[in-house]
Amino acid sequence: MEREEIQAHQALTLSQLQRQVSAALATPQLQYVWVVAELSDVSQRGGHCYMELLEKDPERGTPMARMRAVIWASTFGRIATEFYAATGQRLAAGIKVMVCGSVNNHPVYGMSLVISAINPEYTMGDLMRRRREIVERLRREGILEMNRQLEFPQVCQRIAVISSDQAAGYGDFCNQLYTNPWRLRFCTQLFPAVMQGERSARSIIESLDAIASHEGEWDCVVIIRGGGATSDLACFEDYDLAANIAQFPLPVIIGIGHERDITVLDYVARMRVKTPTAAAEWLIAHGAALLADLNERGHRIVRMATERISGAKEQLSYYQGALPVAPVNAVERARSRLRNALMAVGQIGARRIAPALTRLDTLQSNIPLLLDNTLQRHIERLNVKANMIEALSPQATLNRGYSITRVNGHAVTDASQVHPGDVITTIVARGTLTSTVNQQEQ
3-state secondary structure (DSSP) of residue 367 = helix
Residue 1: band (very low, low, confident or very high) from pLDDT cuts 50, 70, 90: very low
Residues 125 and 35 in one domain: yes
* 188 and 118 part of one domain: no
Same domain, 8 and 74: yes
Domain of 282, in residue numbers: 154-290
Contacts for 221 with CB less than 8 Å, ≥ 6 apart: 159, 160, 161, 162, 208, 211, 248, 250, 251, 252, 253
Closest by Cα among 283, 85, 104, 74 to 184: 283
Look at residue 372 and tell me if it is in a domain. Answer: yes
Residues 383 and 405 occupy one common structural domain:
no
> Does one domain contain both 284 and 335?
no
User: Can you name the residues that pair with 56 across neighbouring β-strands?
Assistant: 63
Q: Assess whether 9 and 108 both reside in one domain.
A: yes
| Mean pLDDT, range 376-389, rounded to an integer | 88
**Per-residue confidence (pLDDT) for residue 217, from 0 to 100:** 96
Task: List, for residues 118-142, the tens digit of each pLDDT value.
Answer: 998 887 777 778 888 899 999 999 9
pLDDT band for 230, please (50, 70, 90 cuts).
low
Cβ atoms within 10 Å of 427's Cβ, excluding its own? 17
Residue 144: inside a domain = no
Length of the chain: 442
pLDDT at 406: 87
Highest mean pLDDT among 156-165, 316-325, 369-378: 156-165
pLDDT of residue 229: 57
List pLDDT tens digits, range 339-362.
888 888 877 777 777 787 788 888
Share of the chain above pLDDT 90, in %: 43
Residue 307 lies in a domain: no
User: Are 211 and 331 contained in the same domain?
Assistant: no
280 has a pLDDT exceeding 50: yes
8 A C-beta contact, residue 226 and residue 194: no
The 3 state secondary structure assigned to 167-226 is CHHHHHHHHHHHCCCCCCCCEEEEEECCCCCCCHHHHHHHHHHHHHCCHHHCCEEEEEEC
pLDDT of residue 249: 97
pLDDT at 187: 96
Q: Is the pLDDT of residue 268 over 50?
A: yes
The pLDDT tens digits of the residues spanning 82-108 come to: 988 877 678 888 788 999 999 988 888
CA distance 246 to 121: 29
Please indicate, yes or no, if residue 93 is contained in any of the structural domains.
Answer: yes
**In this model, does residue 52 exceed pLDDT 90?**
yes
Q: How far apart are CA 4 and CA 415, in angstroms?
A: 194
Region 311-339: what's the mean pLDDT?
84
CATH number of the domain at 34, please.
2.40.50.140
**DSSP-derived pairing of the beta strands 33-45 and 187-192:** unpaired
Please give the C-alpha separations between residue 358 and each of 347, 349, 353, 371, in angstroms, as whole numbers. Answer: 17, 14, 9, 20
Residues 387 and 418 in one domain: no
Average pLDDT of the residues in 150-170: 93
For the chain, how many structural domains are there in total?
Answer: 4
Instruction: Examine residue 387 and state whether it is found in any structural domain, yes or no.
Output: yes
Q: Is the pTM of this model over 0.75?
A: no
- What are the φ and ψ backbone dihedral angles of 59, each rounded to 5 degrees? -95, -45
When pLDDT is averaged across residues 224-251 and rounded to a whole number, the result is: 84
* Lowest-pLDDT choice from 43-47, 86-90, 168-172, 382-386: 86-90
Please indicate, yes or no, whether residues 207 and 272 belong to a single structural domain of this protein: yes
| Residue 439: per-residue pLDDT | 79
* Full DSSP string of 302-342: HHHHHHHHHHHHHHHHHHHHHTTTHHHHHHHHHHHHHHHHH
Average pLDDT on 244-250 reads: 97
| 406, 385: one domain | no
- Residues 380 and 405 placed together within one structural domain of the fold: no
Name the helix (H) or strand (E) containing 106. Answer: strand 96-106
Average pLDDT of the residues in 372-398: 84
Looking at the predicted structure, is the pLDDT value of residue 247 above 60? Answer: yes
Supply angle C-alpha 363, 369, 372, rounded to 5: 135
Out of 140-149, 353-362, 419-428, pick the least confident.
353-362
Mean pLDDT of the chain: 87
Judgement on whether residues 73 and 195 belong to the same structural domain of the protein: no
**What pLDDT is stored for residue 228 in this prediction?**
59
